[in-house]
A and B are shown apart, each in its own frame.
Chain A
């Protein structure tokens, strides 16, 4: 496990092959390497006939492929102490392997097998049904997941309204054909990126040219997400009301998206220290004036390739839900009227810190590199991103807040909704 101890240059290399495949790598001289295959094949690309196929694909990462059986994959990965996993969001799917630098060829073989040559044997696919149920039950343990899925369903007419989890009526009915067709249509070279940390760029390029050039073209183009602005309410017995109110935000990579991110941090994007009263969060300060009961609130910001969502997410006691939500919206309206320089600087610093800290772990760095490779085919250095953050002005932040206030709102709530207002009552 020899790593050179001389002066290291941390240089990213990005190559775009003629087929459209993007290969990016960064030699970080770490003893553990990490490789990811990113595909623009998130659940937004599911059609109405194969809802839930990405959930099954996520669970099928360890099934038999043409080059290796399920047992071999599992044992091979464990034998070198690595891990093979797949993470999927609405836009992208990321298949990643990590292990010690010396064994990276072994796990790379499994990664290529899983992404390019899965067999989806019918009995193995049908064995996934109990795992789908367990997955859904695990997700249902957190009301947050349910509310966010409902929010997307309410906010969009198509594409982005698809859920990350298989709908109930499709559990047990997604079969190998659906999965093969989805792979054929979406796992094409033009929509894939091969990213590596701690690997040689030439090796990665060779692997990309040899193995990942199998399906050319763009495949089936997904439909453009259409924002509609609706409401989903789930009334149940929980004493805590989870509620999200959003309106259409900005697409990824635009200046507006950066303004929304800064606005998110002005309003409050999570505790930055372990205990305390969240004094920098405008939402928390505003809501604390409206209720004495425990609550939590955060600005919600999601950016997708052609659309986005921005708003607030609140957790409150059921009796105080209305006050909390209205107080939170009031704070956003106040921000629309103008933000002070102090707040702006504070928010920018928090955003910069959050971004840089996310790059400190290899998972975060791989994620960032892969998302950028898929989105634009390039890699923006952290310095470039920090400059972009700095260039956000107070007016753009205020305009972003205005866009939320004036835009058509979508809402999703769950809990005891006695005192929770409807979206048109806010």
Chain B
């Protein structure tokens, strides 16, 4: 490298200019440069003010330059050439000026952010609840199964005084079109006469139509319509007499005929169940 019998010794570290591929673990860091984009900023402010600090600074021979993997590291300063993008398009207008204090706008910014966050959270919770409920309720009975539980009857097909029987939920369903005379008669009966006292008004929505389940409350047989001593139903198995309102009047049955839930969507139709 340099002359055979003389080399620049340990006192002149400035003759080896070095550059580095990978930072090494054991060698000391030497003052490096900062790379900013295409410019390289150099800090040469190290002062040499005294005779002692100048001592040994003069080189004694020509330099040799070294580059090494695993040598003194200066390279870690060089990554400041990463360009930070300009985010002005995404900033709030009151924050665009880097020299202005952001304190004045802080309250309104916070209020807005918290409000939006709170509202979103509430909406989110409700959405989550709805979604979860929908998933859980998908395990309940399906529409066709539910449909089988209702029956829709056209009332105009039932003439006055006639009782019609329908199969509903596996049980017979009696729908009777009562005449005004029958209605008045049923409403006039004293409560004391009944084993299971119930006024007619409590058993019908529209007095013209009595809708009961045709299962005898004694042992579950099916009574016959338009039979018996009271102008209603008669169960032939054990002799239970029901009136035109389906209430027990005579016989072993303890309770009145069960009235199911029904509603009249219009004049002409009833949906039972």
Residues of A that sit less than 8 Å from B by CB: 55, 58-59, 61-62, 73-74, 77-78, 82-92, 94, 130-131, 133-142, 144-145, 148, 152, 164-165, 240, 252-253, 257-258, 261, 264, 269-271, 275, 278, 294-303, 308-309, 313-315, 351, 354-355, 357-358, 364, 367-368, 371-372, 375, 380, 385, 388-389
Q: Nearest 9 A-B pairs (CB), nearest first?
A: A85-B68, A298-B58, A303-B3, A83-B70, A137-B40, A302-B62, A89-B64, A139-B17, A294-B51
In the complex, per-residue mask of B102-125: 1 if CB is within 8 Å of any chain A CB, else 0: 000000000000000000000000
Q: From residue 18 to 57 of chain B, which have CB atoms closer than 8 A to chain A?
A: 18-19, 21-22, 24, 31-33, 35, 40, 42-44, 48-57
- A136 cross-chain contacts in B, Cβ below 8 A: 40
Whether A83 touches B71, Cβ cut-off 8 Å, given contacts A134-B35, A142-B17, A302-B61, is yes
- Contact between chains at B61 and A385 (CB < 8 Å): no
What distance in Å separates the Cβ of A426 from its nearest Cβ neighbour in chain B?
17
- Contact between chains at A252 and B4 (CB < 8 Å): yes
- Contact between chains at A269 and B57 (CB < 8 Å): no
In the complex, per-residue mask of B63-98: 1 if CB is within 8 Å of any chain A CB, else 0: 111111111001100100100000000000000000
Interface size on B, residues (CB 8 A): 55
- Contact between chains at B33 and A78 (CB < 8 Å): no
Contact partner, A82, options B11, B54, B70, Cβ 8 Å: B70
Identify which of B18, B19, B33, B71 gathers the most chain A CB atoms within 10 Å of its CB.
Answer: B19
- B63 cross-chain contacts in A, Cβ below 8 A: 89, 145, 148, 164
- Contact between chains at B18 and A138 (CB < 8 Å): yes
Contact partner, A144, options B31, B55, B59, B74, Cβ 8 Å: B59
Is B60 in the interface zone, CB < 8 Å from A?
Answer: yes
- Contact between chains at B56 and A314 (CB < 8 Å): no
In the complex, per-residue mask of B124-155: 1 if CB is within 8 Å of any chain A CB, else 0: 00000000000000000000000000000000
A-B contacts, 24 of them at CB < 8 A, read A74-B21, A83-B71, A86-B68, A87-B64, A88-B64, A89-B64, A133-B40, A135-B65, A138-B19, A138-B74, A142-B14, A258-B5, A294-B51, A295-B51, A295-B54, A297-B58, A300-B60, A300-B61, A301-B60, A302-B61, A303-B2, A315-B54, A367-B1, A385-B4
Measured in the bound complex, the distance between the Cα atoms of B55 and A164 in whole Å is 26
- Contact between chains at A138 and B5 (CB < 8 Å): no
- Contact between chains at A355 and B1 (CB < 8 Å): no
